[in-house]
């Protein structure tokens, strides 16, 4: 798991938001005995960029299951089908592009998401201008079996009549001779109990059923996508009313397996509103800065919002067998939190799982 940039994320957030984090700076403290999930940071390299590669990748195929789809004054999920190429490939990238359908633009900060076979693979909020983000999905190899047809789910919300947001989603399949960290982190199976269910404040929870294999896995990563909206969006601006981050607990059959504290993302808080000057600034200078951060793997809540991740403790691996219920509960504070869970599984272990304490 790549957590080396977490400190850089927090520094960048403070600089962009211009606010103190107060007690929320204790984000790495562990108030429980279970693993803490932290944002999965890492550089995002688009498929055409070969500046860091010894040899250029070979393009195998591109699929465009969401082709310039317009949605206005609505929110929801839509389905599309995608044929995975039969030819050999060893790298998969998603390219997500979005732009307002009207010169004035739909207001920024709209939630977007993409899922494959029920597993969320990209989550974020729209920016103050046209934008494109990339993500390397190679480690999610089981979702892209060559020659199969997979379901692609996408979500957008937009609430201005007569304007709306255009969405375009492409998947690039490549053969890349240059080793990548994603080659070393490929998983053997992915289980996704729920996709983009909403948690609505302290005490609320979302749950889903999942059927694991008969044998406990060798290892597994717990992955939670979520972002705060409404009262949960800028929780760190609430001062003494809310000096600490919203906290969420993840359980399997009521057994705690991890928790997370919401990062103080700035979303699209800063920028100019209204007029051609504002539009030009937001499209060029403003998004250029955020794009540079995104490419470096520093995510501030603008465009891509990475998943929170942690490796499941060895003594909890026996919970990943048979039929189970996975639950995420918000422990404090308010807001609306669209949330997805994936369990990324390494091959079954030939040895019995470590007994639970």
Q: What's the confidence (pLDDT) of residue 275? A: 75
pLDDT at site 104: 66
- Measured distance CA(300)–CA(54) in Å, rounded: 30
Residue 310 lies in a domain: yes
Query: Looking at the 3D structure of the chain, how many domains does it have?
Result: 1
Asked if the structure places residue 350 within a domain, the reply is no
Token pair, residue 175, equals 């053969």
What is residue 251's DSSP assignment?
Answer: E
Q: Within the chain, which residues score under 70 in pLDDT? A: 1-32, 47-56, 103-105, 179-184, 239-242, 348-357
129 close to 98: Cβ distance less than 8 angstroms: no
pLDDT tens-place string over residues 85-143: 999 998 999 999 999 887 666 778 899 999 999 999 999 999 988 999 999 999 999 99
- Distance, in Å, from the CA atom of 294 to the CA atom of 302, rounded to the nearest integer, reads 9
352 occurs within a structural domain: no
- Give how far Cα 249 sits from Cα of 245, 252, 254, 312, 324, Å: 13, 10, 10, 13, 16
Q: What would the DSSP string read from start to end of 259-281?
A: EEE-----TT-SS--SHHHHHHH
Q: What is the pLDDT of residue 20?
A: 33
Count CA atoms within 13 Å of residue 240 on its CB side.
Answer: 0
Helix runs in the chain, H state only: 6-17, 181-184, 275-281, 287-296
Q: What is the pLDDT of residue 344?
A: 96
In a domain, 159, yes or no: yes
* Calpha distance 302→263 (Å, rounded): 13
Q: Confirm whether 212 is domain-assigned.
A: yes
Q: Is residue 355 part of a domain?
A: no
303 belongs to a structural domain: yes
Of all helices (H) and strands (E), which one includes residue 81? Answer: strand 74-83
Q: What is the CATH number of the domain that holds 75?
A: 2.60.120.230
The secondary element (H helix, E strand) that includes residue 64 is strand 58-71
- Retrieve residue 55's tokens: 């040899």
Q: What pLDDT is stored for residue 206 in this prediction?
A: 98
Give residue 90's domain range.
Answer: 6-45+54-345
Note the pLDDT of residue 315: 95
Q: Is 144 a member of any domain?
A: yes
């Amino acid at each position: 798991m790549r957590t080396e940039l977490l400190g850089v994320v927090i520094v960048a957030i403070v600089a962009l938001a211009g606010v103190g984090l107060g007690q929320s700076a204790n984000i790495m403290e562990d108030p429980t005995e279970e693993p803490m999930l932290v944002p999965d940071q890492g550089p995002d390299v688009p498929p055409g960029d070969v500046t860091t590669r010894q040899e250029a990748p070979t393009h195998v195929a591109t699929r465009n299951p969401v082709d310039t789809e317009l949605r206005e004054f609505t929110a929801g999920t839509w389905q599309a089908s995608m044929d995975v190429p039969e030819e050999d490939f060893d790298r998969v990238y998603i390219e997500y592009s979005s732009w307002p359908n009207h010169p004035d633009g739909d207001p920024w900060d709209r939630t977007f998401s993409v899922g494959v076979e029920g597993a969320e693979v990209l989550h974020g909020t729209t920016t103050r201008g046209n934008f494109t983000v990339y993500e390397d999905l190679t480690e999610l190899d089981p979702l892209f079996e060559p020659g199969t047809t997979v379901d692609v789910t996408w979500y957008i919300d937009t609430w201005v009549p007569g304007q709306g947001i255009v969405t375009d989603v492409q998947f690039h399949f490549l053969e890349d001779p240059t080793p990548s960290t994603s080659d070393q982190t490929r998983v053997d199976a992915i289980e996704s109990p729920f996709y983009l269910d909403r948690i609505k404040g302290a005490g609320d929870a979302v749950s889903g059923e999942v059927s694991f294999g008969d044998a406990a896995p060798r290892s597994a990563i717990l992955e939670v996508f979520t972002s705060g909206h409404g009262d949960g969006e800028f929780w760190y601006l609430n001062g003494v009313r809310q000096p600490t981050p919203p906290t969420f607990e993840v359980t399997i059959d009521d057994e705690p397996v991890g928790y997370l504290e919401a990062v103080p993302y700035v979303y699209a808080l800063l920028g100019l509103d209204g007029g051609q000057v504002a539009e030009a600034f937001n499209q060029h200078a403003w998004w250029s800065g955020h794009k540079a951060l995104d490419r470096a793997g520093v995510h501030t809540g603008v465009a891509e919002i990475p998943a929170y991740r942690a490796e499941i403790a060895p003594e909890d691996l026996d919970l990943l067998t048979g039929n189970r219920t996975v639950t995420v509960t918000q422990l404090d504070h308010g807001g609306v939190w669209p949330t997805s869970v994936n369990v990324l599984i390494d091959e079954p272990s030939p040895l019995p799982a470590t007994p639970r304490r």
